[in-house]
A = this chain, B = another copy of it.
Amino acid sequence: MSDKRPETLTVDRMSTPVGEVLIVTDAEGAVRALDFTDFEARMMRLLARHAPGAILVPGRAPEPVRRAVSAYFDGDVRALDALPVRTSGTAFQAEVWAALRTIPVGETRSYGQLAAAIGRPGAVRAVGLANGSNPIGVIVPCHRVIGSNGTLTGYAGGLERKRWLLAHEAAHAV
């Protein structure tokens, strides 16, 4: 490859009302991945794809990140909005994930609406797929996308959590 010095990523853990989460951050303090510990294997698989050869060291995430996550679960549901993230999927995935962060707290979109928003009205299922391979749960709010008929339809972390997150955000959206 051109030039790939192995990158070291920090893996932290925090407990939340819906279970413990893993938070992966890089040297610049950007969040690279976030997922619930009961899906740790899945997250590692995604990481392996997006940051091949990276070295994972258990450690503490930067304080701003930890504070933001705590605040979010404590009711300050907008605390995650400005958190820097970094992903590395395909161009299509990048578009989808970027679009996700534009959904305001307390609102939802359907897969079709999201597809239309990125200019590909037909790519409905592809949006679902990209959604499902989002490495940064909660912060990149893939849980705000639901079926066009209002059903939740799916969530990598379990539908229960999706339901909880949406209710939590709705309750504190002010």
Contacts and interface: CB of A to CB of B under 8 A. Distances in A.
Contacts of A1: 88
Interface string A11-39: 00000000000000000000000000000
A87 to B, nearest CB: 10
Count this chain's copies in the assembly.
2
Nearest to A1: B88
Chain A binding surface, main DSSP class: loop
Nearest to A86: B2
A4 B4 CA distance: 10
A7 interface: yes
A79 interface: no
Interface of A: 1-2, 4, 7, 51, 88
5 contacts: A1-B88, A2-B4, A2-B7, A2-B51, A2-B88
